[in-house]
Structure 1
Amino acid sequence: MRFILSLLLTAVLGYILGIFLDWWSVALAAFVIALLYPQPPGKAFLSGFLAVFLLWGALATVMDIRNGHILATRMANLILQSPSPGLLIVITAVLGGIVGALSALSAAVLRYRKPARRA
């Protein structure tokens, strides 16, 4: 339950901060949520990655559909040497996911304590 809550809150806070700040605001959102809702580092990494991956993927897809795939196709031709806007959207989402994952992992490592061993 905490994983899903963390995922949703990271995506919502990342979207809200993205309205007012630059692209790096998703890292801030993932860090804050991972501090407020402590999880093991692996789960925090995965929730940060999935939240930002889904957020950036959805936002890039909506922007691509709104302009009729013109900009993404041109950028894919320029960068990837391939007229595939879908691949460019996936690459964008993966890069954003990595930013969110590393940020959430940083907060989790900062906060998380292993349970004490029983003798």
Structure 2
Amino acid sequence: MKFIIRTIIIIVASHFSLMYFPWWSIAVCAFFAGAIVAGKNLSTFFSGFIGLGLLWLVQSFLIHTESSGILSNKIAEIFTLNDGIYMVLITGLVAALVGGFSTLSGFRFRRIFMRKKDRGLYR
């Protein structure tokens, strides 16, 4: 359940932050979501990975289809790719990696301030 909540928080906060702030604000949103909603390492990483990857994949695909792929096709030519849809996939992958690592960083930052429980002499 925390995985879904964290993913939704990341998607909504990042979507609204992109309206007013630069692209790297998604990393800040994912960092705080990882710090606020606790979980485990893999769960935290994949919630940021899926949340931001899905968000940027959908947004870049909508831009690609609305503009008939003019800009993405020209950028794909610079990278010697055949079609602009590959640029859409690459931007989704980059955003997914940024989201995964920033969410994991937020979770690990939270763990710095957590006290370890003393389990006693006989664990």
TM-score (norm 2): 0.88
Contact conserved, 1:74 with 1:83, CA < 8 A, in 2? no
Q: In structure 2, do the counterparts of structure 1 residues 84 and 4 end up closer, same or farther at CA, with 3 Å as the change threshold?
A: same
Query: Structure 2 stretches of 5 or more lacking a match?
Result: none
Distance in 1 (CA, whole Å) between partners of 2:61 and 2:117 is: 42
Contact conserved, 1:48 with 1:103, CA < 8 A, in 2? yes
Contact conserved, 1:7 with 1:48, CA < 8 A, in 2? yes
Q: In structure 2, do the counterparts of structure 1 residues 26 and 78 end up closer, same or farther at CA, with 3 Å as the change threshold?
A: same
1:115 Cα deviation (Å)? 7.3
Alignment correspondent of 2:90: 91
Q: Which has the larger radius of gyration?
A: 2
Alignment correspondent of 2:37: 37
Map 1:40-59 onto structure 2 (within 5 A): 40-59=40-59
1:40 Cα deviation (Å)? 1.1
Alignment correspondent of 1:75: 75
Alignment correspondent of 2:28: 28
Contact conserved, 1:35 with 1:107, CA < 8 A, in 2? yes
Percent identical among aligned pairs is 25
Alignment correspondent of 2:107: 108
Distance in 2 (CA, whole Å) between partners of 1:90 and 1:116 is: 47
Distance in 2 (CA, whole Å) between partners of 1:94 and 1:55 is: 11
Contact conserved, 1:53 with 1:96, CA < 8 A, in 2? yes
Corresponding residue pairs, total: 118
Query: Structure 1 stretches of 5 or more lacking a match?
Result: none
TM-score (norm 1): 0.91
1:42 Cα deviation (Å)? 1.4
1:71 Cα deviation (Å)? 1.1
1:109 Cα deviation (Å)? 1.1
